[in-house]
Amino acid sequence: MMRSARIDHYQARAVFHGLLDGEDYRNRVAGACIYRCPRCSHRIRFRWRSFYQADGRSAFERKLRRFFDDMTPTLASEEQGALDFYCPSCAAPTRIIFSAEDYSRIAYHFDIYAALVGVGRAAK
């Protein structure tokens, strides 16, 4: 049995604070944002560079990563990214789905789409 047999989909605004909305974008990361784990309410601060450095790396073992890959929707954006991690408090496997838009050759905008969250252990 895999670590997580159930994965829930959360819209960005349901689990993130500090995202910006504008005329041409939605849920944009501006410097930093706060993620609140829906399983245990643990808060994690993500800086802009966290999404830049994700670069297709995953903290998940191959079997779990494939399971999350099957559950990840495809975005209609130039570049889709994912940031995989385990919640430090409850160990829930989590994937943040975002789009990365290159607005110059050296800078990006990151817009959060959603979070996929598996089942971790019970919160302490």
The 10s digit of each residue's pLDDT in 63-90 is: 999 999 999 988 776 688 899 999 999 9
The 10s digit of each residue's pLDDT in 92-118 is: 999 999 988 776 666 678 999 999 999
Q: Give the pLDDT of residue 1.
A: 32
What are the boundaries of each domain within the chain? 7-118
Cα–Cα dist 116/58, whole Å: 14
Q: Give the pLDDT of residue 61.
A: 93
Cα–Cα dist 43/55, whole Å: 23
Alpha helices (H) in 1-124, listed in sequence order: 12-15, 48-54, 62-71
pTM: 0.87
Cα–Cα dist 52/98, whole Å: 11
Q: Mean per-residue pLDDT for 25-33?
A: 90
Cα–Cα dist 13/18, whole Å: 9
